Amino acid sequence: MRERQTRQKRIIYEALTALDHPTATEVYGYVHERYPSVSRATVFRVLGGFADTGKALEVRMAGTDVRYDYNVRKHCHVHCRVCGRVADVPMPENLPIAAPFENADGFRIEDCSVEFFGLCPDCARKSEQVSRIPS
Tell which residue, 117, 47, 58, has the closest CA to residue 87.
117
Interface segment toward Zn ion; rule CB under 5 A; list 7-15, 23-31, 99-107, 120-128: 120-128
Q: What residues does 87 pair with on adjacent strands?
A: 78
| DSSP class of 82 | T
- Note whether 72 binds Zn ion by CB under 5 A: no
**Candidate residues 14, 20, 88, 115; the one interacting with Zn ion per rule CB under 5 A:** 88
The 10 Å Cβ neighbour count of residue 56 is 23
- Note whether 91 binds Zn ion by CB under 5 A: no
| DSSP class of 118 | E
Interface segment toward Zn ion; rule CB under 5 A; list 5-13, 31-39, 48-56, 121-129: 121-129
- Note whether 14 binds Zn ion by CB under 5 A: no
**Identity of the residue, 37 or 131, whose beta carbon is nearer to Zn ion in the bound complex:** 131
Q: How far is the CB of 17 from Zn ion (least distance, A)?
A: 11
Give the binding-site size for Zn ion (rule: CB under 5 A): 9
CA gap 42, 28 in Å, rounded: 9
The counts of H helices and E strands in the chain are 4, 5
The contact set with Zn ion (CB under 5 A) reads: 69, 71, 80, 82-83, 85, 88, 120, 123
